[in-house]
Structure 1
C-alpha cells in the first residue's frame, strides 16, 4: 500500500455508514483502553457469546500484540484531502494509471459487461475504483488485519466502530473466505483489491465466481461484483450521471465521504470512456 498523506482508504474509515453496519454486525462493548491483553480477553468473551467459535478466536488472537505504528498512522491521517481537487487529481490520475486501467478494461471486458448489466454501475467507475484503490490488486497492504483492528478498537476514540470491524474480521475467518495468512491489508483494516473494511466485506461481498467463498483478494469476479454491489444496494440509479450534484454522486459517499476523492473517481471514469 502506498503510504501518502492523501491515501483515501484510511481517511474514509468506513465504506458503510455505522447505522447500516449495526444491522449485520452485533454491538460489542469490551472496555477500551488499559491493558491490551485484558481488552482482548474481554472482547473474546463477548465475541464467543455472539457466535464466534473458540477455534476462530484462538486462530485470530494467538500471539496478538498492540501495534503502536497503526495508531501513529491513524493520527497522522487527520486533515486528509487538504489539497485542491486539481492538485489531488493530478497526483492520482496520471497517464500511466489511465493506461493501466484501460488495459484492465480490455482484459476483463466480458466480466465487466456482465457486472454492469446486473448491477447497473458503469464499468468505467468500477475500474476507476479498482485502480485508484490498489492499482488493480498490486498494492493491497501488508498489515495483519486482526492486529490492526484490535489496536484501533482498544483506542477509546472509536472503539465501538472498530470493535464491530474486528468482529466482522472474525466472521470472515470463521466463514473461511480467507485464510488467516491472507487476512492482511491497510492501516484502517481494509482488505482486498478495492479495500473493503470487514463489515462491508460481510454485508456487500459477492461470491461471483461461484466457488463458495467471497474472496476479495484473489478473485477478480468477486472483487468487481462486490464493488458494484455496494453502490447498487445503497441506491445507485442505473443509467444516470454520477458527477457532482447528482444522486449517484451522493451514493458514492458510501464508498468515500470525501468530495475530492469522489470527484476524482468521476474524472478517472470519464478518461476511460
Structure 2
C-alpha cells in the first residue's frame, strides 16, 4: 500500500566509479558487475566496506521484485469500493483497541507533534495491519534490485545508500535478517530508508528508535514525518481540510489518503 517516500539526494561527482555505476539493466544480467562498481560509490559516500559487505555481500538480483515493480497496481478510481475493503468493522474495532493499548505513548506523541492518535493508528492499520505484516522481502536485496533496474535507478540508488547508512550507524545490526515490502519500505508504518534516517524517533524523543519491533516508535516516527510535512495541530484531516495535504505527503494517492482520513474518522468516533 505504501507510496514511495523518496527523498531527493544529490550524489557528488564520483569520477570513474560513478560512471561505471550508471549502468543499469532490465534483468539480472550484469547485476554483480554493477554491484561491485556501486561499492566504490557507496564508500565515497561514507559507507565503510564492512557495512557494505554486511548488507550486500552475497545479494543477488531478485526477479520477483522486478515483477512487482513492473506490475504495480494503482489504487484505482473507486473510493467507495476501496474504502469498504480497507475500513471494515473488524479493522475499526482493532484500531480502537490499539488506541487504548497505546494511549500513553500516543498522548506523548500528540503533545510533541500535534498529530492525534486516530490518524496515526489509521496509517498503521493500513500499512501493516498494526504491525502484523511488515513485509517478507529481504530489504537489501529488494533495494539493490531496484537500484540496478533502469526504470527508477537514480531514486533507488539514493535509497540504497541511505539503507547502507543505517548499517553504518548501527541502526540496523543484522541487515541480512531485515524484511520489509518489495519496494524497500521498512518497519510497522513502512518508511523508506531516507525517511527512516530523517524521522525515526521515540514517543518522548529519548533512546534509540526501533521501527521494526516497537509500535510506539513507529507511530512517533510517522507523526514526526507528518509534522515535517505541514501537519497543523488542531486542524481537520478530511479532504478539503488543512491536514489532508499532509496525509497526501505520506502517500500521494488520493484514494489512499481519503481512506486513511475515513479510518481516522471512524476511530475518533466521527
Q: How far is 1:214 from its partner?
A: 2.6
User: 1:1-273 counterparts in 2 under 5 A?
Assistant: 8-9=1-2, 12-14=3-5, 16=6, 18=7, 21-22=8-9, 29=18, 30-34=21-25, 35-78=30-73, 80-178=74-172, 179-208=174-203, 212-273=207-268
Larger Rg: 2
Find the residue that maps to 1:139 and give its secondary structure.
Answer: coil
Aligned-pair distance for 1:211?
6.9
**Contact kept in structure 2, 1:31 and 1:42, CA below 8 Å:** no
Going from structure 1 to structure 2, the CA distance change for 1:205 and 1:144 (only over 3 Å counts) comes to same
Answer yes or no: is the 8 Å Cα contact 1:208–1:222 preserved in 2: yes
**Deviation of residue 187 (structure 1)?**
0.9
Counterpart Cα distance in 1 of 2:48 and 2:24:
25
Task: Give the ranges of 4+ consecutive aligned residues of structure 1 lying more than 2 Å apart after TM superposition.
Answer: 25-29, 207-214
Deviations 1:163-209 (A, max 9, x none): 01111110111122222244210010011000001111011111447
Higher deviation after alignment, 162-171 or 240-249: 240-249
Q: CA deviation at 1:13?
A: 2.1
Structure 1 residue 144, shift from structure 2 partner: 0.8
Structure 1 pair 108–26 and aligned structure 2 pair: CA distance change class (3 A): farther
Unmatched runs of 5 consecutive residues or more in structure 1: 1-7
Q: 1:26 & 1:211 partners in 2: Cα distance?
A: 33
Taking the aligned partners of 1:91 and 1:136, their CA distance within structure 2 comes to: 16
Over residues 8-45 of structure 1, what are the superposed CA-to-partner deviations in whole Å (9 max), with x where a residue is unaligned? 22xx122x5x4xx438x879852232510111111110
Contact 1:143/1:185, CA 8 A, preserved across alignment = yes
* Partners of 1:134 and 1:221 in 2: CA distance: 14
Tell me the distance in 1 between the aligned counterparts of 2:23 and 2:208: 33
Partners of 2:213 and 2:12 in 1: CA distance = 28
| Contiguous gaps of at least 5 residues in structure 2 | none
Looking at structure 1, the residues matched to 195 and 217 of structure 2 have their Cα atoms a distance apart, in angstroms, of 13
Of 260-269 and 173-182, the range deviating more from structure 2 = 173-182
